[in-house]
Amino acid sequence: MAHLAQSVRHSLALAAISAGSTLCAVTTLAATNELEQVIVTAQKYEQKLSETPLSVTAVSSQDLDAMGATQFRDYANRVPGLSFTTTGAGAMQINLRGITSGTNVSPTVGIYVDEVPYGSSTAFAGSAALALDAGVFDLNRVEVLRGPQGTLYGASTMGGLLKYVTRAPDLHTFEGTARAGLSATQHGGISYDIASAVNLPFGTDVAALRLGGFYSHDGGYVDSAGTGQKDVNQSNVYGGRADFLLKPTDRLSVRLNAFVQKISRDGTNTVGYDLVTEKPLAGSLDQPTILKQPFAEQFSLLGATINYDFGPATLTSITSYQSLTNGSSLDASALYVPILNAALPHPPFPIFGAMDVKYGISTDKFTQELRLASNGPTIDWLVGAFYTHETSKQSQLIESFAPDGTPIDINVATALLPSSYEETAGFGTVTWHVTGKLDLAGGLRYSRNSQKFEQIASGLLLGPAPAANSAENVSTYLANLRYRATDNLMTYLRYSTGYRPGGPNFVGADPVTGAPLGNAAFEADKLKSYEAGLKVTSNDRRFSADTAVYLINWDNMQVASARNGVGVVANASTARSIGAELTLSALPSPDFTLLGTFAYIHAQLTADAPDLGGKDGDALPDAPKFSGTISGDYAFNLGGHPSTLGAMVRYVGSRAHSFDASGGDPQYHLPSYTGVDLRSSIAFGSTSLRLYVRNLFDERGQLSAETTLTQLGGPAMISIMQPRTYGVSVDVKF
């Protein structure tokens, strides 16, 4: 087995020389003579993927079902150009095309639920590390847009966009579906999930209600030597969606929806590694924590979308309100215990034995978007306005314990960090159909945002700071050229820009002169992207290729730093990402489908960055140079029952976690890894039975690293891929 896994790894490493752009639904097959047409909403209207002039991946609901996917990690590696860091369900940072400085101060990838932006836009609410890990049951698809989307989607879409597209109510048909799954992870626990959804039409094709709920339990696979807990990363994810659609006339539609989700987790999926040898300190699935590290999150979203067709143009209004609360604990003993024991006078024995950092985050966000769009034979146009207001609170409390485990009544650090963010934006795009084959498009977005931030703190390590505020104006641009040489061949050139909002800083004062020490605010960081792509399909629609190459220049990078002993956000340096993406789809016979997606990313600093500990030419963190996925599915009849067999091989190249001279986040090199998955299904009328194996060769793939606690010799905490997992699920439609 080991030799086979190694040979697969080497063959993929040689093959992965470009990067992918589209995943099609290939896992629940019926005999067909051509590849499926995929519809996406990347440009805020429905469009064939083969005609969309940007790099997009669409992961269908059929693919998610076939994988047995219940959370983000189950399908993330299938998306080319996407990398992520994680410590478990609900705690992850998403990066696209290498646009990351490591631990991002705020998101570089936007997340949407249908037409609604998720999460905080600021650097003060931990949003970069809390990307939405949505339950995927009853989704229509997941869309991933690569490259900056600043004109249509606004702030924090520098690297791209992840969009969860929910299944809309059907006005015509009563239908329902139910799912139950069970899996066992080697070296870990038992996992299970249940879910159901029903569509209820009312009247005569006028209204419909869709209701769905889901619950999944992940049995975990990492043990804590310090606490004695087994499978500490076990988690529960549960929630539901309610969606009501009213269409009283052909011109008017009103869609009201609600989405609620909760995540709870006992600990993290991290394993202790030696920073020097980069080998496990104990077992390959053991962590050295001495305190429990629970995680809990609750998210709710209410939305209303109204469309009215005036004839010449269509007006769309999207209103939403969302609320997020998150609480977690971090065992920070490896860093703070030695610092405080060395700094404070103590008897012959040390005072401190353990340190627990408790984090609390809450965000309430209101958004309103209005847009008017028209399609014509010569000119298509769209104009819109966007407004958001959010308030957030972040709390931090460090609890200390003596070596015998008893609590110590010392205020090490207590902090409350309230913040607010308000943005108003106007945007528009125009497409000119120069000929029946050539289109030219341009777009502009102008945004005005203001922020406030305050630190209310006390203790040995923290102190109060006065409220700070900032305001800025930012413009983003878009230009597209699309040429459709034939119905089966399209090329495009794309120029686009993106940004993250700036914000206020805490500024100390010189005790003698009173002059400020540092900048009162950090600025927006911006990037410019140049992309060329080609999408081609054979005349018989049995073979297709989708490729893109790009150059991204990133200026004024935002990073966490310190000035005169005060933590601030700084604008550190410049960077560049050069890459290529390739997707190949083939239908050699009506029963056999092949898909290959490959990514090449060369992302690096283009100037020294002392705040990061990086030098000109250093690779940006967490971005593998090569990654790729190859999958195949075969459809056949077994005893008169439609059946499938499929396999997927995915390769992720080596990555740097940080920069070699980083003091606060020491360097760790994440090695490459290969995962092999198998899947099968058989249908008995309206019931489908699915079997799958994830990580067939039980590889210890290292997903990401956390080294901020290693500064004084503590362990590097490495997130490990789920070991070999056998699963079965049953889906019933009624």
Class of domain 2-733: mainly beta
**Which portions of the chain are predicted below pLDDT 70?**
1-32, 346, 348, 507-518, 563-566
- pLDDT score, position 372: 98
Interior CA angle at 644 toward 141 and 237, to 5°?
A: 40
* CA pair distance 194, 212, nearest whole angstrom: 11
Distance of alpha carbon 40 from the chain centroid: 18
Cβ burial, residue 18 (10 Å; 0-12/13-18/19+): buried
* C-beta separation of 651 from 627 below 8 A: yes
Residue 306 Cα distances to 127, 244, 257, 680, angstroms: 29, 12, 12, 41
* CA pair distance 547, 533, nearest whole angstrom: 6
* CA pair distance 580, 564, nearest whole angstrom: 42
Supply 296's token pair: 């809990």
**Cβ-based neighbours of 717, under 8 Å, separated by 6 or more:** 87, 268, 270, 271, 272, 273, 287, 705, 706, 707, 709
Instruction: State the amino acid at position 531 in one-letter form.
Output: E
- pLDDT score, position 511: 55
Q: Is the dihedral of CA 325, 331, 336, 342 positive or negative?
A: positive
* CA pair distance 196, 596, nearest whole angstrom: 32
Give the DSSP H or E segment for 66.
helix 61-67
What is the CB-side half-sphere exposure of residue 276 using CA atoms within 13 A?
3
Give the DSSP H or E segment for 153.
helix 150-153
Supply 106's token pair: 């705020």
DSSP alpha helix (H) spans, 184-245 = none
Nearest alpha carbon to residue 217 among 247, 268, 183: 183
* CA pair distance 301, 320, nearest whole angstrom: 7
- pLDDT score, position 509: 57
* C-beta separation of 581 from 55 below 8 A: yes
- pLDDT score, position 517: 59
- pLDDT score, position 714: 84
What tens digit of pLDDT does each residue of 222-264 get?
A: 999 888 999 999 999 999 999 999 999 999 999 999 999 999 9
What is the CB-side half-sphere exposure of residue 461 using CA atoms within 13 A?
20
- pLDDT score, position 525: 95
What tens digit of pLDDT does each residue of 675-696 get?
A: 999 999 999 999 999 999 999 9
The pTM of this model reads 0.92
Supply 577's token pair: 């990402």
Owner of token pair 């060329």? 532
- pLDDT score, position 513: 60
* CA pair distance 580, 544, nearest whole angstrom: 17
Cβ burial, residue 90 (10 Å; 0-12/13-18/19+): buried
> 47-61 burial, b for 16+ CB within 10 Å, e for fewer?
bebbebbbbbbbbbb
